[in-house]
Structure 1
């Protein structure tokens, strides 16, 4: 992989992490209607950012992960075992570590009277040992960890994915895209979205790796695709807010995700061509922010709501302040741990 693509993947991963935090900051209890009965501005803006724009983040992660997994993939037992061994360190161990951490944090908070009032459901203090183990392994408190679980399962079945992609020349991915576009899932090991975009990454690693290492500085194309994405995002936000749902709306929503991913990818190239992209050291902290942001984000939201009260404006302020605060805390904490305890940082981030 050349330097350009390596730096590009780092930046896109960091942007995707920021989008994930805002996605999880979404609060569906924001007032839906204004006094005139129309959709409220704060509600629409929150939908636009979290439920439409930010939805490109997870597919982007799986695409990048699939590409990186298969870029130097050899269909033999030794290569397969070697890759799985590395993923145990980079995926499984962080998954278990952060799952235990998030469970412990919530358990302690629910046990302390000053904080227990913030929890009315899912009381961990009443769990049996079997429930605790199940919650840590299968349903982490830090719910964003589902991505790591799906990712490792995809790595396990990677020989089958390689065979299907190689032999069908990617045709089977088109079939996956068709079912994904209709919200139909027939694959019960992982989410179909995970399977589709991880496999799409494998397609580019196997057949089109030369495409990704080139810059596309076509300004007109990039600006056009960005404009289309903004228009699609506005329409999708309105349809979601209005509760409009049919196959056409679903297809429009999924099209918006694909166009959004393409927009982000090409926007980087355009900014790079104009020397407007700089590499900052905190870009490399993406994984830490990802595993750290929950349950911290939820705790900050609960704390801010208790201070600001419950109004439409206060909810929206919390929606903006909580994710930004979480990201800033995550960046500074990552820098601190990495500088003071580099081995600890490496362990909790799977060697990243």
Structure 2
């Protein structure tokens, strides 16, 4: 396998597990869930709560930065960004990003509106507390920042305020901010050509330091621009990713799990340091993910599945609609009363959701590939 093939396959190998990681993070939540008007909290389940913290340390926040990096690297790979090439790229991203973004946010809105039907009143008794605003500004905001959109939820007194902005389909904030960065690629291209790694390093410093202030969407955009620019820098300046990343193989294998464990410990003993540790963990996680992927391929432990790689985006944009419902269904069926029983329900919910979405993706690709290309931007 040539170095270019290994580089390409290493990136492809990451796509599916990264999507599953996002799904698992959104399924395993310390917030618990509500079913038939009853709130089920994890506060009285120390084992499951601790496992959630380990998941936070090792997995939370890792996938989207790597997706931004891959997107930046692939965007500029093997091209000089002329005006014609830029327009061509925009037309392509219209199909692969914007159209799926609009479709699946609209589906997410309809998914909530269905709960207002009288026949579902017993399943969602708290939905009556939600007010609706169908004004044009509210509808548009739902596709940008759902907190200011159609659904007006009651304010909880002890609710933690988070100024980050998410569309109705929460994971699609990645697609939204990726589209913003893509619009800026002509500027990025010129800057990266002339400033080399200094511009990327500057963005990295901002990304790291400004995390201590809740700047809302600015924090999210910094994540997008930093990791996208980092990947773009390697393509624009024709850096050998294999050579660059492999130098940090041993370091990433040591520091990534170490930082994850330190993050878990910080939750108990020094919470003020947890944000710093997590940022370092996410940064090192990029090296860890790519190096472990390349290592698995070179040692022939696994190989890229084109089907799984192509399904990753579909899983990413759809899972938030059904993962919670599968969790509630499995909880209703098995009625766990212990920590370990609840853990088995959470793990089963992840597995069932992945298998279900893979089946749907397979059926769509086999029988309605044109439709799949419209709703997911790819076959």
Deviation at 1:331, TM superposition (A): 0.8
CA contact (8 A) 1:154 1:190 kept: no
| Other-structure match for 2:159 | none
1:135 to 142, 158, 165: 142
Distance 1:127 1:307, change over 3 A: farther
Query: Does residue 253 in structure 1 map to residue 253 in structure 2?
Result: no
Deviation at 1:169, TM superposition (A): 1.1
Deviation at 1:283, TM superposition (A): 2.7
Distance 1:122 1:151, change over 3 A: farther
| Other-structure match for 1:205 | 235
CA contact (8 A) 1:107 1:125 kept: no
| Other-structure match for 1:283 | 309
| Other-structure match for 1:334 | 361
CA contact (8 A) 2:6 2:297 kept: no
CA contact (8 A) 2:364 2:372 kept: yes
CA contact (8 A) 2:48 2:342 kept: no
Matches within 5 A, 1:257-268: 257-268=282-293
Structure 1 gaps, min length 5: 35-39
What is the rounded CA distance, in whole Å, between the counterparts of 1:92 and 1:122 in structure 2?
Answer: 32
Query: Does residue 346 in structure 1 map to residue 373 in structure 2?
Result: yes
Deviation at 1:205, TM superposition (A): 0.8
Distance 1:320 1:167, change over 3 A: same
CA contact (8 A) 1:27 1:319 kept: no
What is the rounded CA distance, in whole Å, between the counterparts of 1:345 and 1:152 in structure 2?
Answer: 21
2:319 to 283, 288, 293: 293
What is the rounded CA distance, in whole Å, between the counterparts of 2:327 and 2:182 in structure 1?
Answer: 35
3-state DSSP of counterpart to 2:271: coil
What is the rounded CA distance, in whole Å, between the counterparts of 2:375 and 2:4 in structure 1?
Answer: 28
What is the rounded CA distance, in whole Å, between the counterparts of 1:169 and 1:70 in structure 2?
Answer: 14
Query: Does residue 165 in structure 1 map to residue 192 in structure 2?
Result: yes
Deviation at 1:80, TM superposition (A): 1.7
| Other-structure match for 1:37 | none
3-state DSSP of counterpart to 1:55: coil
Matches within 5 A, 1:169-184: 169-182=196-209, 183=211
| Other-structure match for 1:236 | 263
| Other-structure match for 2:94 | 88
Deviation at 1:125, TM superposition (A): 7.5
What is the rounded CA distance, in whole Å, between the counterparts of 1:21 and 1:233 in structure 2?
Answer: 19
Deviates more, 1:10-19 or 1:271-280: 271-280
CA contact (8 A) 1:103 1:141 kept: yes
2:27 to 22, 25, 28: 25
1:325 to 352, 359, 363: 352
What is the rounded CA distance, in whole Å, between the counterparts of 1:278 and 1:285 in structure 2?
Answer: 16
- 1:102-131: CA deviations, max 9, x gaps? 211221233143366336259777332423
Deviation at 1:161, TM superposition (A): 1.7
What is the rounded CA distance, in whole Å, between the counterparts of 1:277 and 1:203 in structure 2?
Answer: 29
Query: Does residue 304 in structure 1 map to residue 306 in structure 2?
Result: no
CA contact (8 A) 1:42 1:316 kept: yes
CA contact (8 A) 1:21 1:293 kept: yes
2:223 to 193, 198, 204: 193
Structure 2 gaps, min length 5: 32-40, 147-166
- 1:67-106: CA deviations, max 9, x gaps? 1112244343222211111111110000001111121122
What is the rounded CA distance, in whole Å, between the counterparts of 2:320 and 2:233 in structure 1?
Answer: 32
What is the rounded CA distance, in whole Å, between the counterparts of 2:220 and 2:96 in structure 1?
Answer: 19
Query: Does residue 7 in structure 1 map to residue 9 in structure 2?
Result: yes
Deviation at 1:244, TM superposition (A): 3.3
Distance 1:312 1:74, change over 3 A: farther
Counting matched residue pairs gives: 342
Distance 1:214 1:252, change over 3 A: closer
- 1:215-269: CA deviations, max 9, x gaps? 94x8xx74553233222111102213x27333x4433221111222211111122
| Other-structure match for 1:272 | 297
